[in-house]
Chain A
Amino acid sequence: MKILFFASLRERLNTEEEQWQDLNGAQTAGDILTQLQTRGEPWSSSLNTERLLVSVNQEIASLTTEVTLNDELAFFPPVTGG
């Protein structure tokens, strides 16, 4: 699984992208988020926000969206283009 982070989240985590070879039992985007949050700081506070958006395979998704090892996930703050 490819996991991407954008904008302020990318900066706070100092991480643009990771590759996972094993989902460690995760079945949903929310399960992935929980595993990231348990890494400690800055992960726990940066990812513990109501204003976090998630996409699965480049479509806006929710934390209950099911995921597989072949998926591309992304976490990012609300968008501000235009």
Chain B
Amino acid sequence: MSKSIGSIRIQEADFSVDNEYQNLRAAHASQNGAICTFVGLVRDFGDKKGVTGMYLEHYPGMTEHSLQQIIDQAASRWQLHNVSIIHRVGQLNLSEQIVFVGVSSAHRADAFASCEFIMDYLKADAPFWKKECNDQGSEWVEAKQSDQDRAQKWSKD
């Protein structure tokens, strides 16, 4: 088993995509041919319209463990130089950043595919829970079958 790659951060604080991108770019600088990044945001509709923000809870310890397993799976499937995952928790307002996934590789195909794979499995497996806030109060978000289906499709490819 090769050494695990990847950086995982669970934090309340916001993040800078540019800083994360520059960190990915600086590591393995001469070998990187492609960097793919994804950012998830708080939007104004979810299970209901009029979302004003959300509260994010997670299972400390299991979250990091689960995300490392996802990174390890991606690294065994594609040639990756580095992976960075940031997931915010706590209270988030409308249009704030929730999650960052960044992947560096020699090739764009590996970077594109692995970034999507990591996000799909993060949504299906990592122990985070969202509670949406609107002007009537707040409600826990229902898990979507479509999110499980998106992760499942990778095992068929």
Contact = CB atoms under 8 A, between A and B. Distances in A.
Instruction: Kindly state the interface size class of chain A when it binds its partner.
Output: 10 to 19
A37 B142 CA distance: 23
A82 B62 contact: no
B58 A81 contact: yes
B122 A78 contact: no
Nearest to A7: B129
Contacts, number: 71
A77 B140 contact: yes
A81 B129 contact: yes
Q: SS class of chain B's interface: helix, strand, loop or mixed? A: mixed
Instruction: Kindly state the interface size class of chain B when it binds its partner.
Output: 20 to 34
B87 interface: yes
A79 B129 contact: yes
Nearest to B56: A81
Contacts of B59: 4, 6, 55, 58, 74, 76
